């Protein structure tokens, strides 16, 4: 596993400390999970941008529209 050094402001480090302690995980685990979530979110945002014109053409504008097409409700 690789390591990365990141410089945080005192305020952000304190927030990280509190958040990781509240979840009962290490700061490293918290940061790792946060980066993974961000990367997934960023990829989803990119895919939405690519798919938006096709979905709009089919009248799909919201997540609720997607679920309606799938026969499910939110």
Give per-10-residue mean pLDDT for the chain (74 aa): 95 98 98 97 94 92 89 68
| pLDDT attached to residue 23 | 98
The beta-carbon contacts of 27-36 under 8 Å, at least 24 apart in sequence, are 31/6
Contact 27, 16 (CB under 8 A): yes
| pLDDT attached to residue 74 | 56
| pLDDT attached to residue 71 | 87
| pLDDT attached to residue 66 | 86
| pLDDT attached to residue 13 | 98
C-alpha angle 22-29-25 in degrees, rounded to nearest 5 = 30
| pLDDT attached to residue 73 | 61
| pTM of the predicted model over 0.85 | no
CA-to-CA distance for 72 and 74, rounded, in angstroms?
Answer: 7
């Amino acid at each position: 596993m690789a390591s990365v050094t990141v410089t945080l402001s005192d305020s952000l480090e304190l927030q990280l400390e509190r958040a990781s302690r509240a979840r009962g995980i290490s700061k490293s685990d918290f940061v790792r999970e946060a980066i993974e979530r961000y990367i997934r979110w960023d990829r989803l945002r990119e895919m939405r941008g690519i798919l938006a014109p096709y979905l709009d053409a089919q009248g799909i504008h919201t997540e609720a529209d997607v679920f309606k097409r799938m026969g499910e409700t939110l």
